[in-house]
Structure 1
Amino acid sequence: MNQTSITLVEQYYAAFNGGDMDTFLNLLTDDVIHDINQGKREVGKEAFTQFMACMNHNYKEQLVDMVIMATADGKRAAAEFVVLGEYIKTDSGLPEAQGQKYHLPAGAFFEIRDNKVARITNYYNLQDWIAQVGG
Structure 2
Amino acid sequence: MTHEVIERYYAAFNAGDAAAMLDCVTDDIEHRVNEGDVRHGRAKFAEFCAHMGVSYRETLRDMVIFSNGDGSRAAAEFTVHGEYLRTDPGLPEAHGQTYVLPAGAFFDLRGGRISRVTTFYNLSDWIRQVSA
- TM-score, normalised on structure 2? 0.98
Q: Does 1:66 align with 2:60?
A: no
Partner Cα distance (1:16, 1:42) in 2: 18
Partner Cα distance (1:46, 1:115) in 2: 19
Partner Cα distance (2:68, 2:56) in 1: 32
User: 1:39-66: per-residue Cα shift (whole Å, max 9, x none)?
Assistant: 1111000000001111111000000000
1:99 corresponds, among 96, 108, 111, to 96
CA RMSD of aligned residues (A): 0.8
Partner-residue secondary structure (3-state), 1:50: helix
Q: Do 2:3 and 2:65's aligned partners in 1 also have CA atoms closer than 8 Å?
A: yes
Q: Do 2:30 and 2:39's aligned partners in 1 also have CA atoms closer than 8 Å?
A: yes
Unaligned runs of 5+ in 2: none
Q: Does 1:33 align with 2:30?
A: yes
Partner Cα distance (1:100, 1:89) in 2: 10
Partner Cα distance (2:49, 2:13) in 1: 10
- TM-score, normalised on structure 1? 0.96
Q: Counterpart amino acid of 2:81?
A: L
User: 1:24-49: per-residue Cα shift (whole Å, max 9, x none)?
Assistant: 11111000000011211110000000
User: Which stretches of structure 1, 4 residues or more, deviate above 2 A after TM superposition?
Assistant: none
Q: Does 1:51 align with 2:37?
A: no
2:123 corresponds, among 102, 122, 126, to 126
Aligned equivalent of 1:12: 9
Q: Counterpart amino acid of 1:21?
A: A
